[in-house]
Amino acid sequence: MELQARQIKESDWEILCSWWKWWRWPNMQKDMLPENGTGGVIIEKNNIPIVAGFVYTSNSKTIFLDWIVSNPEYRESDRSEAIDMLITVIELTFKNLGYKYVVTIGRNKSLIETHKRLGYNVDERKSYELIKKL
């Protein structure tokens, strides 16, 4: 079966939390994410989720792609293709909705290289995610 893209569903939440925990990410909260944790895309194959990412929209022509996380147990050769597909599907979907720019952040070298290969400009200086719960 081919890779398939779909919107993240409520039933994906526990899977995503286990991925974030495995990758040693902060404890994500649904109300911190777009659409209360469903505002994003997941790529899967044979009903096995591989990678997911969330999209924040704005009142400008810019979307913010963030919290890309992958299934640490998925070892198939098409893992890289799934990550490419995630980014490309999000780009095309939001371009068709009238958005013109994608902003994202990252520290994973492989993911940064993927973005470079897909035509992103990458600022090589370190930056940090700053989050404050109000």
Where along the chain do its domains lie?
Answer: 4-117
Mean pLDDT by 10 residues, the chain (134 residues): 94 96 88 96 96 96 94 91 95 96 83 80 77 70
Provide the pLDDT for residue 32.
Answer: 93
What is the model's pTM? Answer: 0.86
pLDDT score recorded for residue 117 = 83
What 27-35 contacts at long range (C-beta under 8 Å, 24+ apart), as own/partner pairs, is 28/67, 32/131, 33/67
Q: Which CATH number fits domain 4-117: 3.40.640.10, 3.40.630.30, 3.20.20.10, 3.40.190.10?
A: 3.40.630.30
